[in-house]
Amino acid sequence: MGILDKYVGKQVVLTIILVSIFLLLLTGLITFIDQMRYIGRGEIGFTFLIGYLGLQLPGLFVLFFPIAVLLGGVIGLGLLARNSELIILQSVGISRAGIVLSALKLVFPLILLVFAIGEVAVPRLEQYAANQYNLYAAQGNISVTYDGLWLREGESFIGVRYTMSDNSLMGIVRYDFNGDELVAVSRAKRGTYEEGSWVMHDVDKIIFAAAEVVPTHLDRETWWLHLNPERVEILGLRGRDLTIDGLLDYINYLEDNGQDTASYRLELYNKIMSPFTMVVMLLLAASTVFGPLRSMTMGARVVAGIALGFSFYVANQFGAPFALVYGLPPILGASLPSLIFLLLALYLLRAKT
């Protein structure tokens, strides 16, 4: 990496970081104001909400980082263009592609760092935040762990491995105690909410009697739990909340139980494609500086960059259900919008005024 690479890359990276901080402060304030309505639920107070928001900030940072790459790229390269520094770089023989590559040499490691934070830190922090919220709101009756959720019903403890998109439960285990004595263990493959209670399907139960162990199997058994579909929706691990390892494990679990995995495979490929997606964002930003829009003012280029980024977002949102509805391979639904906008960015970069 040469001096010019560091100079261009540093300008763009600093701008991306500043835009990220601005977006984080703005969304953090809005989120905090919205969460103030939780005050008074159980033991939730103002101090708790401050800590709760702090646990959510890394997730907000990762969520809005692609937008920061787009806006930071537009503003950072735009400032270099306004100061005629890009013209100087081109006059000494550095091409447009070379300038973009110089920026990418420092931006891409930052992209990988944010990707790693999103995979390693964010899921655990958000699940811990959800755990703390439910401990305070439900007064300790519900707990969320990295591998699912646990709830306490009197002297019984119930663990739920997975929640489905229809708010049903899968992989349920129940331990019934009488004081310190374990009296029964139940395992159910699936649970559905029916008329105010949970109906467990395909239940294997072991009852520990005084002188014997009694195994039994039930096709259906009704359980009364401190849980409802609304709380399942809040606590459930959606595909976008799972890590790549978690998605792979979830997909294998669903396949073993004969469930459709297309939507989760789509989420898996979207996560794998996310660094490439942010590279496309940077190229879109560069296209507003070097392409036909370079004669526009900085404000107009920012608006154009936002429009391109929003179009990219809409294409990604429509690409996913389009692939699912028409039975296309999930990897195609995840990658096609990025490939289309990559070609658009390259076209704009090469286009003349």
pTM: 0.72
- The closest of 17, 19, 23, 12 to 57, measured between CA atoms, is 23
Residue found by looking up tokens 């929706």 in the block: 233
Query: Is 98's pLDDT higher than 90?
Result: no
CA distance linking residue 181 with residue 183, whole number of Å? 6
**How does residue 143 score in pLDDT terms, banded at 50, 70 and 90?**
low
> pLDDT-derived band of residue 292, with 50, 70 and 90 as boundaries?
low
User: Token pair for residue 79?
Assistant: 């400032």
Chain centre distance of CA 31: 16
Give the pLDDT of residue 353.
47
Q: pLDDT, tens digit, for every residue of 210-230? A: 778 889 999 999 998 877 776
**What is the spatial distance between Cα 335 and Cα 338, in angstroms, rounded to a whole number?**
5
Q: For the segment 254-289, what is each residue's pLDDT rounded down to a tens digit?
A: 777 677 778 788 888 888 988 998 999 888 888 888
User: What is the phi/psi pair of residue 157, to 5°?
Assistant: -120, 125
More confident residue, 164 or 194: 194
Query: What six digits make up the tokens of 21?
Result: 């901080």
By the 8 A CB rule, do 141 and 224 touch? no
